[in-house]
C-alpha cells in the first residue's frame, strides 16, 4: 500500500460548484425550516476517518489538513447522500403483469383479493433460496445506490411465516455486511394477512397471535430489525390489530413505522401519532384529523409519490397541508415489485416538486435530514456538517435545482459512505 492509500489520511472534497450541506439541528425539520437546505459556494469539505471534520474555504482546509488527498468535484454539486427510508427491497420475481391489469381497469386491492399483489410475491419468495434472494437484492440495492442513495431502509414482508420472515431478515443482515451502503432493517411480518390465514376470523387472529407471540420475539432475539411496520389499510390490518402488533414490537425494543392511510382513510395517521411512531408512511388518503394528529407529535410523514404515480391514481398525499400543520415531511421511493418498482430517488424528488408542490429545498430536506429522522438517524446522517458521517452524493449538475429538473435522468457520478467510495466503488480517490 502506498502512503496515498492510507486509510487515516484526511480527504478534501474540492472544486464543487455548490456544496448543499443541509446543516442545522440534528433533528427532523418542519414548517419554514424545511426550506433551509444551505447552498454553499467556494467551500471544500474535509473528511477525517468516517466523518466530516470541517466545511470551509479551500486555503483554510489545505493549511489545516496538509497532505490530505484531494477529490476533485469538477464543478458539480456535492450533497448529503440520499436517505431512502422506505423500501421493500427483498423480493424474487418482478410483477410486471399487474401494470397492464391495472391499465385494463383492475384495481390494486382487487388484484390482491384475487390472490395476486403481495400474495403473489409471498408465494414466490417462499420458493426462493436465501442465496438467490441475496443475489437479486444485492443487484437491486446497488442500482438504488447508483442514483445517489447512501442509506436504505429495507423491509421484510413477503415471507409471512416465521421461517420466511427470518430468512428475509437474514438476507438483509447479509446485505448490510456485504454492501457499502448503510442499511436499516425493518420487520414487516404484518404486510398482509397470508392467504392460509384468511379462511375465518379465528384463522386471522391466529396469524396476529403468531406475529405477537412468536415472530416479534424471534426477530428481537436475533436483533434482526431496528423497526417494525404494519400495513394498516381497509382489507388488510385494522387499526386495532395494528396497535396490538406495534405495541408488542415496541415492548420488544423495536422502533415503529406504519403504512398509514395509503388508499383509504382508516385512522392510520392517528394511530401512528398516538404510538409515537418514528414515521407514518404513504398518507395519500389521510384525513384532516390525521394531519392534525401528526402535527401534535414527532412522527415524520414519509410521502411516496412514486407509488401513486405508478398505480395510476390521480391523488397524492397533501404535502403542503402537512408542512402547514408543522409536520416533518420525508420522501422515499417505496421501492417494491408491486406499486413502485423504481430505484431512482432523484425522480421521486421530481415528483415531490411537480406533484406534491414542494420547493426544491423542501424536497432536498425531505430526502436527507427528514429521511434520516424517519430512521432515527438525524444526528448522524443527512447533513454535510462536522461530526456527521461522510455520506455524500456527487451529481453532474451545476445548480441543485437541476436535480429534480432533469427528470428520470441519472446525474449521480459518485457516492461516498463513511468517507469511502460507494458508487461506483472504484471512483474518486485520485
Ligand atoms: O408500500 N402497501 C403496501 N406495501 C407496498 C406494496 C407492496 C406490493 O404491492 O408488493 C407499498 O405500496
Ligand atoms: Fe411500502
pLDDT tens track for 113-158:
999 999 999 999 999 999 999 999 999 999 999 999 999 999 999 9
Cell 428475509 belongs to which residue?
A: 168
Are the CB atoms for 168 and 158 separated by under 8 Å? yes
Q: What is the whole-number distance in angstroms between the Cα of residue 256 and the centre of ligand 1?
A: 17
Of the two residues 429 and 53, the one the predictor is more confident about is 53
Pocket test for ligand 1, best of 191, 304, 310, 332 (most atoms within 8 A of CB): 191
- 62 phi and psi angles, rounded to 5 deg: -60, -35
- Looking at the CA of 87, name the nearest ligand: 2
Q: Of 322, 242, 256, 313, nearest to 29 (Cα)?
A: 322
Instruction: From 182, 183, 184, 256, select the one nearest 216 (Cα to Cα).
Output: 256
Q: How far is CA 425 from the centre of its chain?
A: 21
pLDDT reading at 164 higher than 90: yes
Q: Which residue's C-alpha cell is 385494522? A: 238
Can you give the pLDDT at residue 6? 65
| Mean pLDDT calculated for residue range 404-429 | 88
Mean model confidence pLDDT for the chain:
96
- Sketch out the chain's domains with CATH numbers: 11-80+383-423 (2.30.40.10), 83-373 (3.20.20.140)
Show the cell assigned to 152. Answer: 436504505
Percent pLDDT > 70 in the chain is: 97
Q: With a 6 A CB cut-off, is 88 part of the ligand 1 pocket?
A: yes
> Residues 58-88: pLDDT tens digits?
999 999 999 999 999 999 999 999 999 999 9
Query: What average pLDDT does this structure show over 224-247?
Result: 98
Ligand 1, closest atom to CA 337?
10
Tell me the average pLDDT across 321-333. Answer: 98
Q: What is the 3-state secondary structure (H, E, C) of the chain?
A: CCHHHCCCCCEEEECCCEEECCCCCCCCCCHHHHHCCCEECCCEEEEECCEEEEEECHHHHHHHCCCCEEEECCCCEEEECEEECCECCCCCCCCCHHHHHHHCCCCHHHHHHCCCCHHHHHHHHHHCCHHHHHHHHHHHHHHHHHCCEEEEEEECCCCCCHHHHHHHHHHHHHHHHHCCCEEEEEEEEECCCCHHHCCCHHHHHHHHHHHHHHHHHHHHHCCCCCEEEEEECCCCECHHHHHHHHHHHHHCCCEEEEEECCCCCCCHHHHHHHHCCCEEEECCCCCHHHHHHHHCCCCEEEECHHHHHHHCCCCCCCHHHHHHCCCCEEECCCEECCCECCCCHHHHHHHHHHCCCCCHHHHHHHHCHHHHHCCCCCCCCCCCCCCCECCEEEECCCCCCHHHHCCCCCCEEEEEECCEEEECCCCCCC
pLDDT at residue 1 in the model: 37
Mean pLDDT over 217-226 rounds to 98
Cβ of 307 closer than 6 Å to ligand 1, yes or no, is: yes
Question: What pLDDT shows up at residue 8?
Answer: 78
Q: Output the CA 172–ligand 2 centroid distance in Å.
A: 16
Q: Nearest residue CA, atom 9 of ligand 1? A: 338
User: What span, in angstroms and rounded, lies between the C-alpha atoms of 186 and 342?
Assistant: 19
Q: Whose CA is nearest to atom 12 of ligand 1?
A: 339
Give me the pLDDT at residue 2, please: 41
Residue 427, pLDDT > 80, answer no
Give nearest CA residue, ligand 1 atom 3: 231
118 lines ligand 1 (CB under 6 A): yes
pTM of the model: 0.97
Instruction: Tell me which residue has cell 425539520.
Output: 29
All three cell numbers of 352, joined, read 415531490
Q: Is 339 in the pocket of ligand 1 (CB under 6 A)?
A: yes
Residue nearest to atom 1 of ligand 1 (CA): 334
Task: Return the pLDDT at 429.
Answer: 44
For 203-213, the pLDDT digits (tens) are 999 999 999 99
Nearby residues for ligand 2 (ion, Cβ within 5 Å): 334
pLDDT range class, residue 242, cuts 50, 70, 90: very high
- Residue 155 Cβ contacting ligand 1 at under 6 Å: no
Q: Check residue 187 and report its DSSP letter.
A: E
Ligand nearest 86 Cα, by number? 2
* Phi/psi of residue 273, nearest 5 degrees: -65, -45
Amino acid at each position: 500500500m502506498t502512503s496515498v492509500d492510507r486509510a487515516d489520511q484526511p480527504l478534501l472534497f474540492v472544486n464543487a460548484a455548490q456544496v448543499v450541506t443541509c446543516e442545522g439541528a440534528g433533528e427532523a425539520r418542519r414548517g419554514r425550516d424545511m426550506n433551509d437546505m444551505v447552498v454553499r459556494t467556494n467551500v471544500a469539505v474535509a473528511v477525517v476517518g468516517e466523518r466530516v471534520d470541517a466545511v470551509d474555504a479551500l486555503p483554510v482546509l489545505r493549511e489545516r489538513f496538509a497532505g490530505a488527498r484531494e477529490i476533485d468535484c469538477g464543478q458539480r454539486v456535492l450533497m448529503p447522500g440520499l436517505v431512502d427510508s422506505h423500501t421493500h427491497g427483498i423480493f424474487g420475481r418482478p410483477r410486471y403483469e399487474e401494470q397492464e391489469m391495472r391499465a385494463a381497469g383492475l384495481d390494486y386491492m382487487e388484484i390482491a383479493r384475487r390472490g395476486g399483489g403481495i400474495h403473489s410475491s409471498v408465494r414466490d419468495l417462499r420458493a426462493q433460496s436465501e442465496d438467490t434472494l441475496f443475489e437479486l437484492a444485492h443487484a437491486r440495492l446497488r442500482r438504488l445506490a447508483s442514483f445517489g442513495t447512501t442509506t436504505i431502509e429495507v423491509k421484510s414482508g413477503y415471507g409471512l411465516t416465521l421461517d420466511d420472515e427470518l430468512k428475509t431478515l437474514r438476507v438483509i443482515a447479509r446485505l448490510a455486511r456485504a454492501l457499502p451502503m448503510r442499511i436499516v432493517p425493518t420487520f414487516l411480518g404484518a404486510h398482509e394477512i397470508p392467504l392460509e390465514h384468511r379462511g375465518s376470523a379465528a384463522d386471522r387472529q391466529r396469524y396476529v397471535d403468531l406475529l405477537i407471540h412468536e415472530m416479534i420475539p424471534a426477530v428481537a432475539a436475533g436483533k434482526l430489525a431496528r423497526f417494525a411496520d404494519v400495513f394498516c389499510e381497509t382489507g388488510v390490518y385494522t387499526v386495532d390489530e395494528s396497535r396490538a402488533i406495534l405495541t408488542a414490537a415496541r415492548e420488544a425494543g423495536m422502533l415503529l413505522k406504519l403504512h398509514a392511510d395509503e388508499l383509504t382513510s382508516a385512522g392510520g395517521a392517528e394511530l401512528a401519532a398516538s404510538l409515537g411512531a418514528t414515521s407514518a408512511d404513504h398518507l395519500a388518503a389521510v384525513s384532516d384529523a390525521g394531519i392534525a394528529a401528526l402535527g401534535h407529535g414527532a412522527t415524520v410523514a414519509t410521502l411516496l409519490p412514486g407509488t401513486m404515480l405508478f398505480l395510476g391514481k390521480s391523488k397524492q398525499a397533501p404535502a403542503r397541508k402537512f408542512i402547514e400543520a408543522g409536520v416533518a415531511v420525508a420522501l422515499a421511493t417505496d421501492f417494491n415489485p408491486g406499486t413502485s418498482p423504481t430505484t431512482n430517488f432523484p425522480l421521486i424528488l421530481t415528483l415531490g416538486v411537480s406533484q406534491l408542490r414542494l420547493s426544491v429545498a423542501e424536497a432536498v430536506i425531505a430526502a436527507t435530514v427528514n429521511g434520516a429522522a424517519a430512521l432515527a438517524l438525524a444526528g448522524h446522517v443527512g447533513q454535510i456538517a462536522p461530526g456527521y458521517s461522510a455520506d455524500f452524493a456527487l451529481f453532474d449538475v451545476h445548480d441543485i435545482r437541476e436535480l429534480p429538473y432533469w427528470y428520470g435522468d441519472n446525474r449521480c457520478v459518485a457516492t461516498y459512505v463513511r468517507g469511502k467510495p460507494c458508487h461506483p466503488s472504484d471512483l474518486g480517490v485520485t
